Amino acid sequence: VRTQPGKYHHVVVETTGVADPGPAIEALWTDEGMEACVFLAGVVTVVDAVHLLGQYREKRQNLNRKRAGASAEADEPAREAVLQVAFADHVIVNKCETAGDASTAEAEEAVRRINSAATLERADRCVVDVKRLLELRALDGDGAARAAASASSSSSAPGADESPSSSAHFGGVNTVAVDVSGVRTESAVRAWAESLLWGEQVGCEIYRLKAVFAICADADGVSSSPPRRVMLQAVGQLYELTDGGLWPDANLSASDYRSR
């Protein structure tokens, strides 16, 4: 990729089996050579509609065993199955014909409990439109805005219910959406992100963070119209900002914009 720029349109990294995608994503940002050549278009996770809830019930049982003093090693496969969904921008729910409508719907609800910002599609034998996946671009301006709207409309507090797909069964892993006001400059976005990711007041571990901000002022605080979109994405404690161009609705005043 570095020696022949422009030759490769896409780079697909496929992990083997049940693997935590976090380190692979972080490598794109910590390797200066790679960061200059490629950008993260999106993370795609395939889940098994037949066995998904069984894996998550295993996660819950292992958590209970750990609290009782048992070894944590047995929990790793179930933990990573949860993380694969938590990191995803798009989730393919596979084996739907075998699972049936009821089990497939339960699997989809479980995915939404963990990651309500991800888009979902059903499949059998993983037959999907590969070209569409390669053009996912989940973190450009429009993709980030859609993810924020989806998370805002469907996120819920942990333990809100005790259904089989309740977030309690996933070790408390779920989606939280917030509206942020008063962040008008790019430096303010960085300060907000670093306080959230590096501070100690949050009280939980953040696996993935996606946000779109309306930047209404320049570095000196002078208002600008129309605002620019700035996308923030983070994995663990690493984050990056990307420019999303002008905000689409140029008819709104600066006071009408909210960041998500």
Task: Output the average pLDDT for the chain.
Answer: 78
What residues contact residue 70 under an 8 Å CB cut-off, 6+ apart? 62
User: For the residues 72-88, what does the mean pLDDT come to?
Assistant: 73
Pairing of strands 90-94, 223-235: unpaired
Taking the C-alpha atoms of residue 216 and residue 53, their distance in angstroms, rounded to an integer, is 44
The lowest-confidence range among 124-128, 159-163, 249-253 is 159-163
Q: Quick check: 88 pLDDT over 50?
A: yes
Give just the sign of the alpha carbon dihedral 97, 100, 102, 103: negative
- Can you spell out the DSSP letters for 177-196? ---B-S--SHHHHHHHHHHH
Please tell me the predicted confidence (pLDDT) of residue 142.
63
Taking the C-alpha atoms of residue 173 and residue 158, their distance in angstroms, rounded to an integer, is 8
Q: Quick check: 157 pLDDT over 50?
A: no
Do residues 114 and 80 touch, judged by C-beta distance below 8 A? Answer: no
Please tell me the predicted confidence (pLDDT) of residue 255.
45
Q: Within 13 A of 216's CA, how many CA atoms are on the CB side?
A: 15
What value, to the nearest 5°, has the Cα angle with vertex 152 and ends 182 and 81? 120
Please tell me the predicted confidence (pLDDT) of residue 76.
58
- Chain centroid offset of residue 214 CA: 20
Torsion of CA 93, 13, 131, 247, to 10 degrees: 90
Please tell me the predicted confidence (pLDDT) of residue 123.
97
Taking the C-alpha atoms of residue 81 and residue 138, their distance in angstroms, rounded to an integer, is 21
* Bridge partners (DSSP) listed for residue 242: 231
Q: Quick check: 162 pLDDT over 80?
A: no
Please tell me the predicted confidence (pLDDT) of residue 111.
92
Digit-coded pLDDT (tens) for 106-124: 999 999 988 988 999 999 9
Please tell me the predicted confidence (pLDDT) of residue 136.
85
The lowest-confidence range among 20-34, 216-230, 242-256 is 242-256
Question: What's phi and psi for 78, nearest 5 deg?
Answer: -65, -40
Q: Quick check: 210 pLDDT over 90?
A: no
Tokens of 58: 């295993």
Digit-coded pLDDT (tens) for 176-199: 888 888 788 899 999 999 999 998
User: For the residues 205-210, what does the mean pLDDT come to?
Assistant: 87
Q: What percent of the chain has pLDDT over 70?
A: 73
Q: Quick check: 163 pLDDT over 50?
A: no
Do residues 90 and 46 touch, judged by C-beta distance below 8 A? Answer: no
Digit-coded pLDDT (tens) for 11-53: 888 887 777 888 888 887 777 777 667 778 889 999 999 988 8
Other residues' Cβ atoms within 10 Å of the Cβ of residue 246: 14
Name the one residue in this structure whose structure tokens are 């996933």. Answer: 170
**Containing H/E element for 209?**
strand 208-217
